[in-house]
């Protein structure tokens, strides 16, 4: 059982990456032009698949590790999305977004410390 718990600790991180990827694809689909209906549908569908995949990964992780660990990663999605949108989509990040991300990270850390 111990080896499953070690592997399961990776699942919430993968779920967060998957959820962030889904959100980036949603943003990309919102920017597509009407003439690109097939591409829009594919990008939107891939975003949906990534979200469903993240839910499944979180569900499996909850079987092996405590719920607060799984949802700590879920809370960090806000930070991950801010970083990814800045790096991948080249969106400007305001100072209040950076402050909010730092506060979220501190809050997740404090909530997870025993």
Enter the pTM of the model.
0.82
- Evaluate if residue 32 carries a pLDDT over 90: no
- Evaluate if residue 49 carries a pLDDT over 90: yes
Q: What integer is the mean pLDDT of 24-46?
A: 86
In the structure encoding, which two tokens stand for residue 58, read together? 């979180």
> What DSSP assignment string belongs to 34-83?
GGGHHHHHHHHHHHHHHHHHHHHHHHHHHHHS-HHHHHHHHHHHHHHHHH
- Domain positions in the chain: 2-112
Residue 65: pLDDT band (50, 70, 90) is confident
* Nearest-angstrom CA–CA distance, 30 and 12: 27
- What is the per-residue pLDDT for 2? 64
In the structure encoding, which two tokens stand for residue 59, read together? 């569900």
- What is the per-residue pLDDT for 48? 96
Asked if 91 and 85 count as a contact pair (C-beta separation under 8 A), the reply is yes
């Amino acid at each position: 059982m111990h080896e499953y718990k070690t592997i399961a600790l990776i699942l919430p991180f993968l779920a967060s990456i998957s959820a962030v990827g889904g959100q980036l694809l949603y943003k990309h689909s919102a920017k597509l032009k009407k003439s690109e209906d097939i591409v829009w549908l594919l990008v939107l569908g891939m975003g949906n698949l990534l979200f469903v995949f993240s839910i499944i990964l979180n569900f499996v992780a909850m079987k092996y590790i405590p719920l607060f660990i799984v949802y700590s990663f879920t809370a960090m999605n806000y930070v991950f999305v801010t970083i990814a949108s800045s790096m991948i989509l080249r969106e400007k990040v305001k100072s209040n977004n950076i402050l909010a991300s730092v506060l979220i990270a501190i809050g997740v850390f404090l909530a997870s410390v025993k």
